[in-house]
A and B are shown apart, each in its own frame.
Chain A
Amino acid sequence: MHVGILYSRIRKDEKLLLNELRERGHEVEKIDVRKERFGLESTTANVGDLDLVVDRCLSTSRSLYATKFLDSYGVPVVNSPETGDVCADKAKNSLALAEANIPTPATEVAFTKEAALEAIESFGYPCVLKPVVGSWGRLMAKIDTRDAAEAILEHKETLGHYEHKVFYVQEFVDKPGRDIRALAVDGEPIAAMTRSSDHWLTNAAKGGETASFELDDRALELVERASDAVGGGMLGVDLMEVGVEPEADGGEGSGEYTVHEVNHTVEFKALDSATDVDVPAKVVDWLEAKAAAAADGEEVAP
């Protein structure tokens, strides 16, 4: 197949993907989105002969616009702009999960610091304040006191980009020192790992330790439903184990989960290292199937 890769940085993830594609004899068109222009009917990017384009943009804004333009030209692109739109925004992400009746942390959005403080007080302490756009655990605040809440809200309102004036307040989930990342393609898991840390943020990007994790039936079901809820594609589904009883601590091994996020430009180098699964090979298997489906005139979105 002739596949395009939208990118602005070739990280280890993209390198793994590129190597696998080339080893299989696929022709790869690297598209550095920083150098291209996207018009209403055409683009400077060389996409005319591509069977499929894979969005690997590190920048969310570039990802959303570039995929939208390519989709408008009729170029098959994964993930779809619709999936990106839902996943890129934590509020839309939470709504999609809730609308699909998938367990997800209780969340409220408020637009002023006064209303946000009311939301925080209603959750009680600790609770969590997150930016609606962002990743890798950046600018996330675990709020332990009203004093801290007032200070953080004032800082966000004064210093922040307009998106920081959308206050996304969430219950604090007392997870067992780890969360779970599952990489799935159209709902089918490729591999999963835990990310553990003594810190409340367990993201691999924050230094969380990773280990292979076997998804049980309940987790498999939730991953599939979460993928469907955001429109499918190659996704990083994040789950936390929760206690069966409301007052139970932790919940490790409880078999109950809450899905806190679905990521649409998922990194997989940590997963590739943490598990025995050949993650790039599985990803390319899926891309080949997507390209074949597109060639048959099918939508690449499931």
Chain B
Amino acid sequence: MSVHGRVSGTMTSDTDTLLAEDPITGEEIELPADVEVGEIIDSPVTGTELEVISLDPVTLEEAPELEEDWGE
């Protein structure tokens, strides 16, 4: 399943974080300010892996599920 998050990217008063919308719950979540496209983060709300799709504006999607040939 691929779920798009709302465009956000608001800087918080703490400049080490960004705000974005969790694409699954719709809740606002904090991201590290140095987050980058392609980065996988764990949703602090559900623990679901989210992928950063874009930065300007910040967009999150549910990360692809594990596939059989993934690994080292």
- Contact surface of A with B, Cβ cutoff 8 Å: 7-11, 14-15, 18, 30, 32, 58-61, 133-136, 138, 161, 236, 263-267
In the assembled complex, the CB of B53 is this many whole angstroms from the nearest CB of chain A, namely: 11
Which segment, of B8-16, B22-30, B33-41, faces chain A? Answer: B33-41
- Interface footprint category on B: 10 to 19
Q: Find residues 36-72 in chain B having any chain A CB closer than 8 Å to their own CB.
A: 36-40, 51-52, 63, 67-72
8 contacts across the A-B interface (CB closer than 8 A): A7-B38, A10-B36, A18-B36, A58-B70, A60-B71, A135-B71, A136-B71, A138-B71
Using Cβ atoms and an 8 Å threshold, which residues of chain A touch B52? 10
Please name the residue on chain B nearest to A87 by beta carbon: B72
Interchain CB contact under 8 A, A9 and B71? no
Q: Which residue of A lies closest to B51 (CB)?
A: A9
Q: Which residue of the partner chain, among B38, B51, B70, contacts A60 with CB atoms under 8 Å?
A: B70
State the 10 A-B residue pairs at the shortest beta-carbon distance, nearest first: A135-B71, A263-B72, A10-B39, A60-B69, A10-B38, A135-B72, A58-B70, A61-B69, A136-B71, A9-B40
- Most B CB within 10 A of own CB, among A58, A161, A267: A58
- Give the complex CA separation of A22 and B19 in angstroms: 24
Contact of A30 among B37, B69, B70 (CB under 8 A): B37
A30 lies within 8 A of B38 (CB): yes
Pairwise interchain contact A58-B71, C-beta atoms closer than 8 A: yes
Q: Give the residue of B36, B39, B51, B71 whose beta carbon is less than 8 angstroms from that of A134.
A: B71
- Distance (Å) between the CB of B54 and the closest chain A CB? 12
